[in-house]
Structure 1
Amino acid sequence: MRTAPEEGQLVEVPLAPLYARAEKSPEKAASLVVAFAERVLAIVRGQLAERSLQGAQERVYPVLRHASFVKRDPDRWVFQPHTEETSILYAIDDQEGYHLIEKGLLAQAGWTGEELHQHAMRNLQRLPVPQKRQQVGPNQITFIAPGDGYAASRILLAPLLEEMRRTAQGDALGIAIPHGDVLIIADLHGKAGADLLARLTYDFASKSSRPLSFLPFFYEGGELVPFLTVSHDRKPGRAPADS
């Protein structure tokens, strides 16, 4: 979820934890929504306070956005290119949510972009990486969706990807970031495995209000290589419309 307080600041509040709790306890859904709304109001009120990166080294994280998000206002954001479809931006976390870091805030702190990136990556590396695995034929699909707002960002953790590649039994390691709240890593066998990951990626991305990438990747030699499979029973992928 995104709210837009004064001066166009963007505040990110992950909805995944709310959905998960409501599904687990349907009888509490109404009270959970009320509590969530109160939380959002508190976050918006908090935007009125002066914000600074000074002393916030342990509260910054990398976040992924579709490349079109940056292209709309490239002079505003601190970012690095990631893939053809995605860019790395940065956020300051206040436990209730996070807001994206603009160049002006970085300048006020006297940090360089590289210093911000280093702080963000160190913090990302400290986060747990909970994994849920599903076996589909010979293919093992691993879902990483901790609900903290930085699920897709874990694609930046090279040691994680290298370990998954090392232990893979199939022909290729597939990776997908259909939206920000999930990272999919798949131990794939043959064309059927690649087709499976492509379908999963499309389905996840098409159901998101803010998709990242409709295309999955092969992880080869430390690089993400996008791939496309052709299916006659699926409509062609649409271009994401980041909000």
Structure 2
Amino acid sequence: MKMTSIKMKRLLESRLQNEQWKTVFNKDKDTLRIEWKDTKMGIDISLPGIIAKWEERKEKAVDEIVDYIAEALHVMHDEQNLSGKEKQILPVIRSTSFPIETKNEKELIYSEHTAETRIFYALDLGKSYRLIDKKMLEQEQWTEERIKEVAKFNIRSLSTPIKKDEVAGNTFYFIATKDGYDASRILNESLLEEMEEKTEGELAIAVPHQDVCIFVDVKNPTGYDILAQMTMQFFAEGRVPITSLAFLYEEKQLNPIFIMAKNRKKEENE
């Protein structure tokens, strides 16, 4: 049976029946939103990404996403406090199109990052996390600066297990722990400097979705082609897509690159 977005939508809806929840299908974006009827707080799921996982692991993949959605919905509906939970505050990367306030008009805490990405801040709750909004800060009498400094410190404490792969003369490094903060490793300045030191060509970095961070020692034009294909595929399949563009890391700055333009430029100079 060929799985389509409509079929996956119906399958998820049948597994997520709750009188207090409602679902909204966005045909243009190919996403399904599940939210609380009273607060409008909810979660958006990219259906192509779920379908890709279903094709590999069938019902097990659906079980995992249903558990994730249910847990996330209950977490965001419950009142949360920050006191005594400083070690659970971490940054998360999102695209610049990600809303900066919740459906019930609570302003989220965020920082600008690149032309493609923003940094939001989350309270880790084990199986899921809650994005921190200004109301939570007011209740605790915390400042935004405190949240951002604590998150910056905590991201450096996360482990960085790296899988290495050589492809067409280029070295690819992957961080994919699936702890919810893999893409956030791009904010670990010490890690970026460490990767730059071992790079022989140009250092490119990609965060196509929440659960992966890719570093590439690009030594030839083919490396850019492979990276472009990889980031596009990962972006399409990710549970929380971020950006299909990669970045060049130069002089401690991340600059988005258009791979095809980069290749043409390199070829013209050869």
Q: Identify whether the pair has TM-score above 0.5, normalized to the shorter chain.
A: yes
Supply the AA of the counterpart residue of 1:55: G
Match of 2:222 among 171, 192, 204: 192
Match of 1:215 among 226, 245, 257: 245
Cα deviation for residue 215 of structure 1 reads 1.2
Match of 2:213 among 183, 190, 196: 183
Q: Indicate the residue corresponding to 1:60 in structure 2.
A: 89
Instruction: Identify the range of structure 1 (181-190 vs 50-59) with the bigger mean alpha-carbon deviation.
Output: 50-59
Supply the AA of the counterpart residue of 1:159: S
Q: Indicate the residue corresponding to 2:5 in structure 1.
A: none
Match of 1:143 among 158, 174, 177: 174
Q: Distance in 2 between matches of 1:72 and 1:36?
A: 24
Supply the AA of the counterpart residue of 1:56: K
Q: Does 1:129 align with 2:121?
A: no
Residues 159, 63 of structure 1: alpha-carbon distance in 2 compared, 3 angstrom cutoff: same
Q: Indicate the residue corresponding to 2:39 in structure 1.
A: 7
Q: What secondary structure, in the 3-state scheme, does the structure 1 residue paired with 2:210 have?
A: coil
Cα deviation for residue 4 of structure 1 reads 3.3
Gaps of 5+ in 1: 232-243
CA contact (8 A) 2:249 2:255 kept: yes
Gaps of 5+ in 2: 1-31, 262-270
CA contact (8 A) 2:109 2:121 kept: yes
Q: Distance in 1 between matches of 2:193 and 2:251?
A: 9
Q: Does 1:50 align with 2:79?
A: yes
Q: Distance in 1 between matches of 2:72 and 2:235?
A: 27
CA contact (8 A) 1:66 1:212 kept: yes
Q: Indicate the residue corresponding to 1:206 in structure 2.
A: 236
Supply the AA of the counterpart residue of 2:90: Y
Match of 2:138 among 107, 132, 151: 107
Query: When the two structures are aligned, how many residues end up with a matched partner?
Result: 221
Q: Indicate the residue corresponding to 1:155 in structure 2.
A: 186
Q: Distance in 2 between matches of 1:149 and 1:177?
A: 12
Larger Rg: 2
Note the aligned Cα RMSD (angstroms).
Answer: 3.0
Instruction: Give deviations 1:11-44, integer Å, cap 9, x for gaps.
Output: 699xx9xx99x96xx6xx7578657746754554
Q: Distance in 1 between matches of 2:249 and 2:79?
A: 42
Q: Does 1:225 align with 2:246?
A: no
Residues 52, 185 of structure 1: alpha-carbon distance in 2 compared, 3 angstrom cutoff: same
Q: What secondary structure, in the 3-state scheme, does the structure 1 residue paired with 2:39 have?
A: helix
Q: Distance in 1 between matches of 2:172 and 2:206?
A: 11
Q: Indicate the residue corresponding to 1:241 in structure 2.
A: none
Q: Distance in 2 between matches of 1:182 and 1:43?
A: 20
Q: Distance in 2 between matches of 1:36 and 1:204?
A: 17
Q: Indicate the residue corresponding to 1:88 in structure 2.
A: 119
Q: Does 1:173 align with 2:178?
A: no
% same residue? 33
Instruction: Give deviations 1:92-124, integer Å, cap 9, x for gaps.
Output: 111021111111111211111111011112222
Instruction: Identify the range of structure 1 (111-120 vs 71-80) with the bigger mean alpha-carbon deviation.
Output: 71-80
Q: TM-score, normalization: structure 2?
A: 0.71
Instruction: Give deviations 1:137-196, integer Å, cap 9, x for gaps.
Output: 210101111101101010000110100110112x20110111111100001103222222
Q: Distance in 1 between matches of 2:84 and 2:44?
A: 21
Q: Distance in 2 between matches of 1:227 and 1:38?
A: 36
Q: What secondary structure, in the 3-state scheme, does the structure 2 residue paired with 1:230 have?
A: helix
